[in-house]
Chains A and B, each alone.
Chain A
Amino acid sequence: MRLPSGVFNVSYAQDMTVFRTLYHWLGLVLFLVMLFLVPLFARQYWVDLLSTIAVTVIAIEGLNILAGYCGQISVGHTAFMAVGAYTSAILARQLGLPFWLCLPCAGLAAGFAGIFFGLSSLKVKGFYLALTTIAAQFIIIYLIKTPLEKWTGGAIALHVPEIHLGGFVFKSERQLYYLVMGLTILMTFFAKSLTRGHIGRAFVAIRDNDIAAEAMGINLYRYKLLAFFIGCFYAGVAGSVWSVYAKVISPDDFTLEGSIWQMGMLISGGLGSTLGPIFGAIFIKALNEIVVIAGPLITSVIPAIGAQISAALVEMVFGITLILFLIYEPRGIAHRWEILKESYRLWPFSY
Chain B
Amino acid sequence: MIKFTQLVLTGISVGFIYGLVALGFVLIYKSSKIFNFAQGEMVMVGAFLTWSLLGLFHMPVLPGLILSFIVAGAVGYGFERFPFRPMIGQPILAIIMVTMAIAVFLRGLAILLWANFVGIKFPSIIPEQTIYIFNIPFSSVFAWSFLLVFSLVIGLSLFFQYTRLGLHMRAAAEHHQLAQSMGIRVTRSIAQSWAIAAVVSTAGGFLLGYIRGIDFGLANLGLVALAGALVGGLESFKGAIIGGLIIGVAETLTGGYIGRNLKEVVPFVVMVLVVFYKPYGLFGLERIERV
Give chain A's interface residues, CB within 8 Å of chain B: 67, 71, 73, 75, 117, 119-120, 123-124, 126-128, 130-132, 134-135, 138-139, 142, 145-146, 209, 211-212, 215, 257, 260, 263-264, 267, 271, 305-306, 308-309, 311-320, 322-323, 326-327, 330
A318 contact from B104, B116, B262, Cβ within 8 A: B104
Question: In the complex the two chains form, is B83's CB within 8 Å of A323's CB?
Answer: yes
Given contacts A135-B269, A312-B115, A316-B108, contact A260 B100 (CB under 8 A): yes
Q: Is B289 an interface residue (CB 8 A)?
A: yes
Question: In the complex the two chains form, is B86's CB within 8 Å of A327's CB?
Answer: yes
Contacts of A319 in B (CB 8 A): 101-106, 108
CA gap between A326 and B96 in the complex, in Å = 10
Please give 20 more A-B residue pairs, beta carbons under 8 A apart, in addition to A134-B223, A142-B262.
A120-B275, A120-B276, A123-B275, A126-B96, A127-B29, A128-B230, A135-B227, A135-B271, A138-B264, A267-B94, A267-B97, A311-B115, A312-B108, A312-B109, A315-B107, A316-B105, A318-B104, A319-B103, A322-B101, A326-B87
Task: Output the nearest chain B residue to A322 by Cβ-Cβ distance.
Answer: B101
28 A–B contacts, CB within 8 A, in A order: A73-B92, A73-B96, A120-B276, A123-B276, A124-B280, A126-B92, A126-B96, A131-B230, A134-B268, A135-B268, A139-B265, A142-B264, A146-B261, A146-B262, A211-B289, A267-B97, A306-B116, A308-B112, A309-B112, A312-B112, A313-B112, A315-B105, A317-B108, A323-B101, A326-B90, A326-B98, A326-B101, A327-B98
Q: How far is the CB of A260 from the nearest CB of chain B, in Å?
A: 5
CA gap between A221 and B276 in the complex, in Å = 15
Contacts of A73 in B (CB 8 A): 92-93, 96
CA gap between A314 and B276 in the complex, in Å = 37
Task: Output the nearest chain A residue to B111 by Cβ-Cβ distance.
Answer: A312
Q: Is B272 an interface residue (CB 8 A)?
A: yes
Q: How far is the CB of A212 from the nearest CB of chain B, in Å?
A: 5
Task: Output the nearest chain B residue to A261 by Cβ-Cβ distance.
Answer: B104
B109 contact from A119, A146, A316, Cβ within 8 A: A316
Q: How far is the CB of B289 from the nearest CB of chain A, in Å?
A: 6
In chain B, positions 207-255 with a C-beta closer than 8 Å to chain A are: 223, 226-227, 230, 234
Contacts of A130 in B (CB 8 A): 35, 37, 96
Q: Is B279 an interface residue (CB 8 A)?
A: yes
Q: How far is the CB of B52 from the nearest CB of chain A, in Å?
A: 16
Given contacts A128-B230, A132-B272, A134-B223, contact A142 B265 (CB under 8 A): yes
Q: How far is the CB of A204 from the nearest CB of chain B, in Å?
A: 14
Q: How far is the CB of B69 from the nearest CB of chain A, in Å?
A: 24
Q: Is B164 an interface residue (CB 8 A)?
A: no
Question: In the complex the two chains form, is A330's CB within 8 Å of B276's CB?
Answer: no
Question: In the complex the two chains form, is B291's CB within 8 Å of A215's CB?
Answer: yes
Q: Is B259 an interface residue (CB 8 A)?
A: yes
Contacts of B105 in A (CB 8 A): 315-316, 318-320, 323
Contacts of A71 in B (CB 8 A): 93
Given contacts A123-B275, A124-B279, A311-B111, contact A264 B101 (CB under 8 A): yes
CA gap between A311 and B113 in the complex, in Å = 12
Task: Output the nearest chain A residue to B268 by Cβ-Cβ distance.
Answer: A135
CA gap between A125 and B175 in the complex, in Å = 21
Question: In the complex the two chains form, is B100's CB within 8 Å of A263's CB?
Answer: yes
CA gap between A161 and B171 in the complex, in Å = 62
CA gap between A316 and B12 in the complex, in Å = 36
